[in-house]
């Protein structure tokens, strides 16, 4: 018998909105979005899942949300909002994932209703995964509360949780219906969390946009000193570059290339090796430094370009390396990260290295001797700064 063949395309649309005081009663943005997405007469529900760190930093938040939906009542608010811990623990412990599913079930959140997550990237990842698998897909709204989630993870199409001690082992590619970046949430971030997300801006500039890299060099001190205008532009530009990449390349990552994972292969492993005491952005900054020096030692970029990258990372206040990033003889834990990264890619090892400031190329093997040399150079540079 002749075989049957089927092929179809699914279109995805979503907006990233930039605003201030999203839940102020005078701010019509969220209400207008919900009403326009749901013009039918039937009342749809919205369930909020909130990062405990955000709830603690903004003690009036749940009251504010309730007041907002009391005034804008075309969408029915589930009064019992779920507050869960932030950070990587929420992706490591499946109990939190189960809590979100239980709330979806208990409050009758159907495929035409909404699950809104307010928090950092880890909370958005986990809640997005729960929303995607419940009823085969509930409308998910992301309200990122950190620099990292507003300029990178929160505007993308990935959701997931950690499993088998591997980052994002379980997950989906499923865009949110909208992202709302509210600058107010950034005001209460610690200096460490404020800085952490800027690493993703350095990454995307290095592989996509030399002009943006130069802007980061010019504005590094302002960014490190919490200049709001500089941070707002950095977030907008970074989100724009990430979204352009998603549209033009391989949004569901069917191939092995991951240019947006520049600096990440070692970062992911370092996070686990330190039990997540090193923040994601901090690990990415160190991963960028390592891969930049490797790019220079392997003849891809000049020593001057490498120096500019290292300078920027230091100006932003990041550490350049970590003891666990050193490559020793025999079996270094960080080298295991290469194999785990290859497995995560689902094919051959593909690492992005720099060919210039604003451009990169894919390579399929890493020379352990050059990697060891790169790690030693960064270690020596760190030691000389400390003395």
Per-residue pLDDT, 28? 95
Q: d(Cα 221, Cα 229) in Å, to the nearest integer? A: 13
Residues 300-337 pLDDT 10s = 999 999 999 999 999 999 999 998 888 876 667 777 77
**For residue 21, pLDDT beyond 90:** yes
Per-residue pLDDT, 40? 66
* Cα distances (Å, whole numbers) of residue 290 to 42, 204, 312, 313, 354: 54, 16, 14, 11, 11
Q: d(Cα 277, Cα 131) in Å, to the nearest integer? A: 28
- Asked if residue 49 lies in contact with residue 123, where contact means CB atoms within 8 angstroms, the answer is yes
**For residue 154, pLDDT beyond 50:** yes
Per-residue pLDDT, 269? 86
**For residue 136, pLDDT beyond 80:** yes
Q: 376 pairs with which residues across the strands? A: none
**For residue 254, pLDDT beyond 60:** no
Lowest mean pLDDT of 74-83, 129-138, 228-237, 326-335, name the range: 326-335
Give the chain's mean pLDDT. Answer: 89
**For residue 245, pLDDT beyond 80:** no
Q: What is the mean pLDDT of residues 154-171?
A: 88
Dihedrals phi, psi of 137, to nearest 5 degrees: 135, 105
Q: What is the mean pLDDT of residues 240-251?
A: 75
CA atoms within 13 A on the CB side of 281: 29
| Reported pTM | 0.88
Which tokens go with 124? 């958005």
Per-residue pLDDT, 256? 42
Residues 69-89 pLDDT 10s = 999 988 999 999 999 999 889
Which tokens go with 357? 């400031």
Per-residue pLDDT, 166? 80
How confident is residue 365, by pLDDT bands cut at 50, 70 and 90?
confident
Q: Is 203 exposed, middle or buried (0-12, 13-18, 19+ CB in 10 A)?
A: buried
How many Cβ atoms are within 10 Å of 188's Cβ, its own excluded?
14
**For residue 249, pLDDT beyond 70:** no
Which tokens go with 252? 């569901």
191-386: CATH topology is Dehydroquinate synthase-like, alpha domain (1.20.1090)
Secondary-structure percent of the chain, ordered helix, strand, coil, rounded to 5: 55, 15, 30
CATH dotted code for 15-188: 3.40.50.1970
| High-pLDDT (> 90) share of the chain, % | 66
**For residue 213, pLDDT beyond 90:** yes
Per-residue pLDDT, 295? 96
Per-residue pLDDT, 19? 96
Alpha helices in 274-367, H assignment, sequence order: 280-297, 303-315, 333-345
Taking the domains of the chain in order of start, what are their residue ranges?
Answer: 15-188, 191-386
Per-residue pLDDT, 248? 66
**For residue 219, pLDDT beyond 80:** yes
Query: What interhelical angle do 198-208 and 280-297 show, nearest 10?
Result: 30
Q: What is the mean pLDDT of residues 358-383?
A: 88
- Asked if residue 297 lies in contact with residue 375, where contact means CB atoms within 8 angstroms, the answer is no
What is the distance, to the nearest Å, from the Cα of residue 227 to the centroid of all Cα atoms in its chain?
Answer: 21
- Asked if residue 234 lies in contact with residue 174, where contact means CB atoms within 8 angstroms, the answer is no
């Amino acid at each position: 018998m002749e075989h049957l063949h089927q092929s179809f395309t699914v279109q995805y649309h979503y907006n990233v909105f930039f605003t201030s005081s999203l839940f102020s009663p005078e701010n019509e943005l969220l209400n207008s979005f919900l009403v326009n997405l749901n013009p039918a007469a039937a009342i749809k529900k919205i369930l909020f899942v909130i990062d405990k760190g955000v709830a603690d930093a903004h003690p009036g938040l749940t009251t504010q949300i309730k007041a907002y939906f009391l005034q804008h009542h075309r969408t029915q608010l589930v009064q019992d909002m779920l507050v869960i811990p932030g950070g990587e623990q929420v992706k490591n412990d499946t109990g939190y994932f189960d809590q979100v599913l239980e709330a979806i079930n208990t409050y009758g959140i159907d495929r035409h209703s909404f699950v809104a997550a307010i928090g950092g990237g880890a909370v958005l990842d986990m809640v997005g995964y729960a929303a995607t698998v419940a009823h085969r897909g509930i409308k998910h709204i992301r309200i990122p509360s950190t620099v990292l989630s507003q300029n990178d993870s929160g505007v993308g199409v990935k959701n997931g949780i950690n499993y088998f001690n591997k980052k994002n082992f379980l997950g989906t590619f499923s865009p949110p219906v909208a992202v709302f970046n509210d600058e107010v949430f950034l005001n209460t971030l610690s200096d460490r969390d404020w800085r952490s997300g800027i690493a993703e801006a350095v990454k995307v500039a290095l592989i996509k946009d030399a002009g943006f890299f130069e802007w980061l060099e010019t504005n590094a001190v302002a960014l490190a000193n919490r200049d709001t205008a500089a941070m707002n532009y950095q977030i907008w530009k970074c989100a724009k570059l990430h979204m352009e990449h998603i549209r033009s390349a391989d949004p569901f990552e069917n191939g092995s290339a991951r240019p947006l994972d520049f600096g990440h292969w070692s970062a992911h492993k370092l996070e686990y090796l330190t039990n997540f005491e090193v923040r994601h952005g901090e690990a990415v900054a160190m991963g960028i430094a390592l891969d930049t020096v490797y790019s220079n030692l392997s003849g891809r970029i000049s020593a001057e370009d490498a120096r500019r990258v290292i300078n920027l990372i230091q100006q932003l206040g990041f550490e350049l390396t970590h003891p666990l990033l050193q490559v020793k003889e025999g079996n270094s834990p960080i080298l295991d990260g290469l194999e785990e990264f290859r497995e995560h890619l689902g094919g051959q090892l593909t690492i992005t290295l720099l060919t210039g400031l604003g451009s990169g190329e894919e390579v399929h093997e890493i020379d352990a001797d050059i990697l060891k040399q790169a790690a030693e150079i960064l270690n020596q540079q760190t030691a000389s700064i400390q003395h």
